[in-house]
Chain A
Amino acid sequence: MINSDHKLFALILASLSVLIWSVDASAAEGADPTATARKINSTYSGIWYDPSRDGEGFTLVISDTTAGPTAVVSYYTYDNQKQSVFLVGSESIAAGATSVSIPVVITSGANFGDGFKPADVIRTPAGTLTFRFTSCNIGTVDYDLDPLGNGRLSIVRLAGVESLDCIDNSQ
């Protein structure tokens, strides 16, 4: 399951060093506030991004755990000082839920490679990301992040998982 813009994906395959993520025409649909949100299931696992914000994105894994279905998310982006940042978190998904609000943390303090020590990692709560999906390839993220602020992003799917075709559970 790939973003419908195959040319885009081919370009990614060809060379990430010259990666240019073009705007997906279908993204406009993602902004439709009247679209009915779908029940969230594992087929929404994948990489998602807002085409108007090429250069950042979300990774989402929907996983069954002993606590029930759980969403594991990362948001890779930048802070207001142009520093690369990532926010990570997980949250259980209520049965039949059409949205999930995931508390995320931002980390700091560690080093690369052999210099990495787990004890150096400082985890700081950084707010929530709320996901909704209105079709297999379109959704929204409401972010409420400290200190980055709040707002809504219209996201489209960049990549999914082979053989895990999206199923419309709203029927």
Chain B
Amino acid sequence: MNPNEIVIRHSSIRSLYDLANTQFRPTRCAVAVAMALATSVATAIEIQVNAGDVTVTGDKSCSIQEAITAANTDTAVDTCPAGNGPDIIILPGNSQFTLQNIDNQDQQGNNGLPTITSNIIIRGHNAIIKRSSDAGTDHFRIFRVVSGNLRLNSVTIENGLADFTDNGISAPGVYGGGIYAFDSTVTLISSTVSGNTASVGGGISSSESVINIIESEISNNDASGINANKSTITIQDSNISYNRAHLGGGMVLNNSTLSMTNSTVAGNHANTFGGGLGGQFSTVNIDGSTIRDNRATDYDGGGIQFGGSTLNLSTSTVSGNNSGRDGGGIKLDENSQGRISSSTISRNIAGRGGGGVEIWTNQFNIANSTISTNTASTKGGGIASWYGASVTLTNTTITENSAQIGSGAYSQPLSSIFFKNSIVGNNKVGANCAGEGTTDSGSNVFADISCSGITQGDPKLGPLQINGVASTETHGLLSGSPALDAGDNSFCADNLIANLDQRGLKRPFDGDADGSAICDIGSHENHTVLAPAEGKGIQPAHSGAWFDTSRSGEGYFIYISNNNGQRSVTIAYYTYDNGKQMWVIGTEPIASGSSTVKVPMTVTTGTVFSNFDPTEVKRANWGTLTLTFTACDAGTISYDSPQFGSGITTISRLATVSGITCNSNGF
């Protein structure tokens, strides 16, 4: 359907909206919807319905069915006045309309109310319209809307039932237990669709229609809260919760567009795919929303699953979802694309791979986001990339996830994960990265060598929490974090970052007060001044084999270790005494930030190689070696020994330990 046709056909909606919605708090979306629909003015007829009246027998009382017919046909019915174009049906405050019987039957099955074929606003004042729950009540949906425009304001719709059987008699009605819409616009404002059942679209079934859900609740419906086919769905300030389905527990989309803002999708359940949201060939835009505690029991996408679709998720949280197989939080199947920005993917669990996110797709971007505390049983605790996917993560923090293989990120060899300004560290069980497709694209902090072959050490992150401003949860940086002021400012200027951090705070911020504002690595920009990372002190990358280039034949093995937070150096010194070899060895803690350390050295004697007896080994004080590093690859060692005197040599590297580099803020 051409959307413009709706605008023309229903051109008087704005005036009706103004008249009818005195309790409605206008929102950005609602205003936009109203403006899109509105141009001219018509005289609205108010049709007052008697409380609870569901009779259609001409009893001198205007029932809800008679009011709809009067509005549809612009003729008086019983005591209901004739409608005049767009009409307003007014229900008494807190009234309840319990439908006992089928009103009409058509190719979509049984309907409890006359089909809406015109422009109707129902001002409900918290009224309930429900199918009777008495045993033996016929099976019928509540509303059917065909080429109409229905707006529900403060109305609750309950217990509609559209299925294949009507008390044992086969019936074709399988769509929309609460509302079925075709070629129509349906708008819910401050309304509830709850406890309805259908084979398809338990709450709402939309075909070639526009559905607007504003400050409303779609809950406890089966199957799915909303089923959309070739439709445009807008959801704002609403809850989609505790619905159930085979596919797409909260909502299932086919060839449709969803725009959801400031809403929650929670506690929904699918047997197969997409516990919260699922479907195919659709465009899904989610902003400022929470997708939590949904479940896809047998297969993929505990929170969200789509194939052949575009997913754009921003300033949102996907948390606590659970899948039986892949993608505890989000699963994107083949031929999908999109982005996640300024969002947190946390505490999701996958029965197989991709605890937080699993991508099977062409191109996908994740920026300014936190992927934390997710769990996968096998591969990719935080994120998994499969089958040719190319995923780029910019200023994203992946931590505290767990999996056997690739506890932070797993990239199948045929696919890629590119990291820019990102943190992958402190993930549990397996190495932080696995697979062969993870690539260092610049300025990252990797806590081990598994992601790119080098490590910058412990990222030193705070707990996952709301940090300072009301937003999604992030991990702040602790003092000494190598991520502090160590990013690439050009990455922070990318479109999806726009010089803001995940919380919306400006970046870069001069977090080490060195006069130069550099982006922090990861999703969170610290806005307090912390100690610079590592300083110019001795650091792990000083480990290796060293020697004085003018003294070939003599040398040092140096190891920088850390035990319970205490950094220490162990040094073995190989030299000579009167033509014979002599080695001495020693270890000493290193003062925090210090670039020099004096190490007491021990000389040993006393046993033989072939009949080694440890008890014969005698250890004696040899003196001290003082190491001073002046650069990543340069330093001096001075010796001071009662027996051998004192002196100093300049040392250079003979061999570097692979996989670890000097910190950029150090040497």
Give the interface of A toward B (CB within 8 A).
Answer: 1-2, 6, 9-10, 12-13, 15-19, 21, 41-43, 45-47, 52-57, 59, 61-65, 69-70, 72, 74, 76-86, 88, 90, 106-114, 116, 118, 120-121, 123, 148-149, 158-165, 167-168, 171
Contacts and interface: CB of A to CB of B under 8 A. Distances in A.
Q: Is the interface of B mostly helix, strand, loop or mixed?
A: strand
A116 B554 contact: yes
B607 A2 contact: no
A163 B458 contact: yes
B contact residues, range: 35 or more
Given A13-B568, A90-B655, A112-B577, A55 B617 contact: yes
Contacts of B603: 84
Q: Is the interface of A mostly helix, strand, loop or mixed?
A: mixed
A148 B371 CA distance: 56
Contacts of B600: 15-17
Interface of B: 404-405, 430-431, 434, 447-450, 455-458, 540, 543-545, 550-555, 557, 559-564, 567-568, 570, 572, 574-583, 585-589, 600-610, 612, 614, 617, 619-621, 639, 644-645, 647, 654-660
Given A21-B614, A123-B553, A164-B449, 7 more contacts: A16-B601, A18-B619, A47-B572, A121-B553, A161-B657, A162-B543, A171-B434
A27 to B, nearest CB: 13
A59 B647 contact: no
A107 B579 CA distance: 9
Nearest to A65: B655
B509 to A, nearest CB: 26
B609 A47 contact: no
B612 A56 contact: yes
B318 to A, nearest CB: 28
A84 B660 contact: no
A17 B621 contact: yes
Contacts of A111: 576-579
Contact of A74 (B543, B562, B574): B574
Given A12-B587, A112-B575, A159 B570 contact: yes
A54 B552 contact: no
Contacts of A84: 580-583, 603-605
Contacts of B450: 167
Given A61-B545, A161-B657, A161-B660, A106 B561 contact: no
B557 A69 contact: no
B543 A108 contact: no
Contacts of A76: 572, 574, 583, 585
Contacts of A12: 587
